[in-house]
Amino acid sequence: MQSVNPKNGEVLNSYEEDTPDEVERKLRRAAATFPLWRTTPLEERAAKMRRAAALLRDGSETYAKLMTDEMGKPIQQARSEVEKCAWVCDYYADEAGGFLAPQHVATDGSDSFVRFDPLGVVLAVMPWNFPFWQVFRFAAPGLMAGNVGLLKHASNVPGCALAIEELFTRAGFPQGAFTSLLVGASAVEGLIRDPRVAAATLTGSEPAGRSVASIAGSEIKPTVLELGGSDAFVVLSDADVEPAMDAAITARTINSGQSCIAAKRFIVSPPHYDRFVEGVAERLAKLRTGDPLDEATDVGPLARPDLVADLHAQVEASVRDGARLVLGGAVPEGPGSFYPPTLLVDCTREVEAFRDETFGPVLAVAPAADDDEAIGIANDSGFGLGASVWTSAERGKELASRIESGHVAVNGIVKSDPRLPFGGIKRSGYGRELSRYGMLEFVNIKSVWVA
């Protein structure tokens, strides 16, 4: 298993995959740790989680550079990711007691209440694009709930996987409370079917989600799936278009466009369409693509060469289908997995870059005849992760009920926040992460009635 620097294609490090015997040893240890960890007082769990947050902040530069080296994230964004991980640790350390407190309910018994008990060993199958944040938003609530975690991370970020396990160990969590498995995708089915694994969560592609859901379903084990997205960014007739254009650039190019919740379909009502296209093109042209360790870089490389090839094929197919290429759209010469910020306009619903998910700095813009059609186009998608609508605040709150997604941002960009539940509908998956709702996905919500 290798980590390869996408900036130049150089091999950073090689790792031996876990043998079947090593996987069995780690599974056995995790299962043995669960009964001990679930009975650890909540205050003690919280102290260790706060220690993890402190270690993240103390090691911010080291962890940020590791992410940047392994998957190409611009270094400033990598630092922000580390800080967000520390935030989620602190958040659950502070809030878990309230989230897990028994809830008393008046019935015909002398006492009745609902309690929240951990399930056991939870398997997390995580992606490379946010190699720390995706893991911590599972691990912080899961560990605070009393579960133990097994991480099967993406195979191109093994250094991140091992660094996270080492961080939890340094924070004082017992051996087996959080374990990284260096295994390929073929090992996932056996892990889910193992009777010691109680549940699974996956952030990844739609095919991976279908596979995990099918296997877990056959074993009657709970799952949470956060899959692909093709988030709509809707600019309505009464929008303030200047801040909308600024936000459009951020929403589409964060993490070099490699984000499930990045805005991908830009739908603009007639009063603003020409100005929006012009302003977005101006802003895109000013972005700096290059070395992700350079503080001035806006867009780094994509994580792997095959992702560049796939993205470019989508752009070429979109032009053949009638989209107009305004900017970018050519694979640069030289080393590294770079792709330039690219603008496709006059898109229809049939254009590939508008219909399917793109994972890179490509903006696909479509005109709408009016505001009602704009909302209709936004909903005309198999995905339903997030959406951004630009209009008056009151109208936006009203329209939120009509938009088919798990998250709606009014006059802002879609982003995950520990205080709010996060997840999608339709082909974007099911279940929720973060907030109290996310914590309760992997607990036994148990009713207790006393005569």
- pLDDT band per the 50, 70, 90 thresholds, residue 446: very high
For residue 389, the enclosing domain spans 231-417
Q: How far is CA 347 from the centre of its chain?
A: 27
Same domain? For 247 and 360 the reply is yes
Same domain? For 390 and 412 the reply is yes
Same domain? For 60 and 176 the reply is yes
Same domain? For 223 and 260 the reply is no
Within-domain flag for 33: yes
Q: Is 226 a catalytic residue?
A: yes
- pLDDT band per the 50, 70, 90 thresholds, residue 441: very high
Same domain? For 153 and 190 the reply is yes
Instruction: Give the 3-state secondary structure of 132-158.
Output: CHHHHHHHHHHHHCCCEEEEECCCCCH
Same domain? For 46 and 68 the reply is yes
Tell me which H or E stretch contains 26.
helix 20-38
Residue 371 in tokens = 């505001």
Closest-CA residue to 327 (of 346, 340, 343, 351): 343
CA dist 440 and 445 (Å) reads: 8
Residue 329 DSSP one-character state? -
Q: How far is CA 3 from the centre of its chain?
A: 20
Q: What is the CATH number of the domain that holds 159?
A: 3.40.605.10
Give the count of beta carbons closer than 10 Å to the beta carbon of residue 412.
14
**Set 260, 347, 357, 441: catalytic member:** 260
CA dist 117 and 439 (Å) reads: 11
Radius of gyration for the alpha carbons in the chain, expressed in angstroms and rounded: 22
**pLDDT tens digits, residue range 375-425?**
999 999 999 999 999 999 999 999 999 999 999 999 999 999 999 999 999
pTM of the model: 0.97
Hunting for tokens 């009745």 — which residue is that? 112
What's the whole-number mean pLDDT along residues 311-328? 98
Q: What is the model's pLDDT at position 359?
A: 97
**Set 226, 352, 433, 441: catalytic member:** 226
Q: Is 85 a catalytic residue?
A: no
Same domain? For 188 and 296 the reply is no
What's the whole-number mean pLDDT along residues 114-136? 98
Q: How far is CA 226 from CA 147, 206, 417, in A?
A: 20, 9, 15
Q: What is the model's pLDDT at position 370?
A: 97
Q: What is the model's pLDDT at position 287?
A: 98
Within-domain flag for 423: no
Residue 431 in tokens = 């279940």
Spatial contact of 438 and 203, defined as CB atoms under 8 Å apart:
no
Structural domain tally of the chain?
Answer: 2
Within-domain flag for 422: no
**pLDDT tens digits, residue range 196-216?**
999 999 999 999 999 999 999
Within-domain flag for 321: yes
Q: What is the CATH number of the domain that holds 409?
A: 3.40.309.10
Same domain? For 217 and 236 the reply is no
Whole-number average pLDDT of the chain: 98
Q: Is 428 helix (H, G, I), strand (E, B) or coil?
A: coil
Same domain? For 190 and 321 the reply is no
pLDDT cut 70: percent of the chain above it: 100
Same domain? For 200 and 99 the reply is yes
Within-domain flag for 327: yes
Closest-CA residue to 399 (of 232, 220, 229): 232
Q: Which residues are 325's β-sheet partners? A: 344
Q: How far is CA 20 from CA 17, 187, 191, 246, in A?
A: 9, 9, 11, 50
CA dist 191 and 183 (Å) reads: 10
Within-domain flag for 39: yes
pLDDT cut 90: percent of the chain above it: 100
Same domain? For 216 and 254 the reply is no
Spatial contact of 120 and 222, defined as CB atoms under 8 Å apart:
no
Spatial contact of 446 and 117, defined as CB atoms under 8 Å apart:
yes
**pLDDT tens digits, residue range 12-54?**
999 999 999 999 999 999 999 999 999 999 999 999 999 999 9
Within-domain flag for 129: yes
Residue count of the chain: 451
Q: How far is CA 385 from CA 38, 260, 410, 416, 440, in A?
A: 33, 8, 15, 11, 20
Q: What is the model's pLDDT at position 6?
A: 98
What's the whole-number mean pLDDT along residues 130-150? 98
Q: Is 25 helix (H, G, I), strand (E, B) or coil?
A: helix
Within-domain flag for 441: yes
Same domain? For 82 and 203 the reply is yes
Tell me which H or E stretch contains 311.
helix 305-320
Q: Provide CB contacts within 8 A for 371, sequence distance 6+.
A: 236, 237, 269, 391
